[in-house]
Structure 1
Amino acid sequence: MNAQLLRIGDDIVALHAVVTDEGVTLIDAGLPGDRRILQEALATAGRSLDDIRGIVLTHGDSDHIGVAEWLRTEHGVPTFVHEADAGRARGDKTPSASGGAWKLGPTLRFLGVAVRRGAMRAKHLGEVRTVRDGEVLDLPGAPEIIGLPGHSPGSIAIRIPAVDALFLGDAITTRHVLNGSEDVQVGPFSDDPAQTPESLEKLRALPERTIVVGHGPIFHGTAAEMLASLKR
C-alpha cells in the first residue's frame, strides 16, 4: 500500500491525514478554523475533501474535533471515537481537569493560536460512530484502536503500520502548551494522569518509530524508547 502521512497545523495544535490509494483518513480534526489549511495540505498530495473516508479521534476534547462536524454535515464524512468519549465529542460531558503549572509566554502562545484558529467557534458533533479497544477500522490505512484511558476515559492510541506511526493524542506531550517544557510527559488537562503511564505500557512492544502527539513535535523512536524518556 502506498501511504503518506501529512502533518497539518503546528506543534501547538496538530491534526494529521493518512493518504493512501484508497483515500484519506484524518486523525483528529484540529480547530474549527482549520478548513483552509486542511484543504491546502490535501491539495499538495493531489487530494481533496471528497477523498476523506473518515475521521478517527484520539479523544473527544474540543481542540481535536474542530472541523469534524463541518465535514460530517457538508461532506458526509463520519467521525469515529471511543465509546467512553462519545459524550465529550457530542458535548454531553465537559472535562474539567487542571492544566497544571503554567508560564505566561507559552500560555499566551497557546491561547493566541487557539483564538486565531477558531477555538471560540467549536461545534460538537451531532453524530458519532463508536469504536472499542482492539478494533481495526475499514478506513484507509486500516487504523487499529488501542485503548489508552488516562487523559480521558476514551483516549486511544491509533496504530497505522502503513505510515510507521502511533498517534497518541494528548496521552503525552512533547511540548507542554502551558509551560513550554519539552520533556516527554503526560499531557496536561488529564482526567487521570496517574493512569496514563500504565496504559502506555500496552504499546511497549510495538515496532512503529513515529510517535505522533496532538501538541508538540513528533517523537522519532519506538514506544519503548518513548517510555524510557517519559518524565515520571
Structure 2
Amino acid sequence: MELSPGLHRIGNDIVAAHLIVTDEGITLVDAALPGHYGDLQRELTALGRPLSDVKGIVLTHGDSDHIGFAERLRTELGIPVFVGSGDAARAQGEKPPSTPRDPRRLGPAIRFFAYAIRKGGLRMRPVQEVVPVNDGDVLPLPGAPVIVGMPGHSPGSVAIHAPAVKALFVGDELTTRNVLTGVTGVQPAPFTDDQAGSSASLERIAGLDVDWIIPGHGPVWTQGAPALIGAYRAAEAARVR
C-alpha cells in the first residue's frame, strides 16, 4: 500500500513493515512476520521492482514480530540486517525478559495472536548475522536512513529517520492501536521492558521535521512530532489516574 511517493506499507494495523523506495533501491524497515514475505513480493510486483532491489533491512528492535522474514532475505539474497546494538542478541534468538502483564481485552488479544499464528509466528527464524547500529549512524542504504537511539521498549530499540520521505519509524516505542486491548490513539505500547525509559526516549524525536510517524502496530500519525508527544503524554497521564 502506498502511503506517499517513495513510502509503502505491507501488512496492516495489527502488524506492519515498510518500504523506503528510491531509484537506487529499496530499504525495508522491519520484517513483520514470516508470512508477510508474500505481501512483500506482491507489493514489489505492483511497483515493478525485483526482490534484488531490496538493499537492506533495518529493524526498529529485535522482537519476533519485527524480524519476520529477515533471515530468509539474508540467507537467500545476502541482504544485510541492521539492528540497534543493544538488541542484536534478541534478533538472534535471545529470549526477552518477562514484562508486567499488560491490560487486555479478550477479543482484540485473540485476534492479535490468531493473526500472528496465521502469518507464521510459530515458525520464526532468528537472524543469524546482524549489523549492529547506534544512535546517529547514517546507513549506506537507499534513502540514507538515520538511526535515533530510543531505548525503552527494549534496550536496543531505535527510531529510523528517513528524511528522503519525511518519515520516522518508531517501532514499538509507542503504538496507535494497542494489539491487546484494541484501543486506538497514541499511547504506550504493551510488552515494554522499561516504560519509564520508553517515555523519556520520545523527547529525542521532538525536533524532527517529519510528515509521517509510523509505529509497528496501528495507523500512521501525520500531525507531527510535538502533537504526537502531547497525545502520548495525555494517554500516559490517563493510565496513572
Q: What band does the TM-score fall into relative to the shorter chain?
A: over 0.9
SS of corresponding position for 1:29? coil
Match of 1:177 in 2: 179
Instruction: Spell out, residue by residue over 1:74-128, the C-alpha distance to the aligned partner (whole angstroms, 9 max, x if none).
Output: 1111100011000000013433224500001101110111011000000101100
Question: Any gaps of 5 or more consecutive residues in structure 1?
Answer: none
Identity fraction in percent: 53
Instruction: Give the aligned partner of residue 11 of structure 2.
Output: 9
Structure 1 residues 137-176: aligned runs within 5 Å:
137-176=139-178
- CA distance 1:90–1:153, shift in 2 (3 Å): same
Deviation at 1:227, TM superposition (A): 0.4
Match of residue 211 from structure 1? 213
- Over residues 186-228 of structure 1, what are the superposed CA-to-partner deviations in whole Å (9 max), with x where a residue is unaligned? 1100000111121110111111021100000001121111001
Selected match of 2:129 from 127, 130, 135: 127
Which residue number in structure 2 is paired with residue 111 of structure 1?
A: 113
2:239 aligns with none
**Structure 1 residue 61 and structure 2 residue 63: aligned?**
yes
Q: What is the CA-CA distance between 1:46 and the residue it aligns to?
A: 1.4
Q: Distance in 2 between matches of 1:83 and 1:110?
A: 28
Aligned to 2:194: 192
Tell me the secondary structure at the aligned position of residue 220 of structure 1: coil
Aligned CA-pair RMSD: 1.2
Distance 2:104 2:74 in 1: 35
Does structure 2 retain, via aligned residues, the 8 Å contact 1:98–1:188? Answer: no
Q: What is the distance in 1 between the residues matched to 2:74 and 2:141?
A: 16
C-alpha separation in 2, matches of 1:105 and 1:92: 30
Aligned AA for 1:69?
A: E
Match of 2:97, SS? Answer: coil
Residue 87 of structure 1 aligns with which residue?
A: 89
Provide structure 2 residue ranges, at least 5 long, that are not aligned to the other structure: 237-241
Match of 2:52, SS state, is helix
Runs of 4+ in 1 over 6 A off after TM superposition: none
Moved more, 90-99 or 185-194: 90-99
Cα separation, 1, equivalents of 2:101 and 2:21: 33
Q: Contact 1:151 / 1:191 at 8 angstroms: preserved in 2?
A: yes
1:146 match: secondary structure: strand
Quick check: 9-18 or 181-190, which moved more? 181-190
> Are positions 1:45 and 2:47 aligned together?
yes
Residues 133-177 of structure 1, C-alpha deviations (whole Å, 9 max, x = no match): 000001000000000000000000100011111000000000000
**Helix, strand or coil: the match of 2:87?**
helix
Deviation at 1:3, TM superposition (A): 5.7
CA distance in 2 between counterparts of 1:98 and 1:13 reads 22
Contact 1:99 1:178 (8 Å CA) reproduced: no
Q: Which moved more, 1:208-217 or 1:39-48?
A: 39-48
Give the distance between the partners of 2:63 and 2:110, measured in 1 at CA: 20
* Higher deviation after alignment, 168-177 or 93-102: 93-102
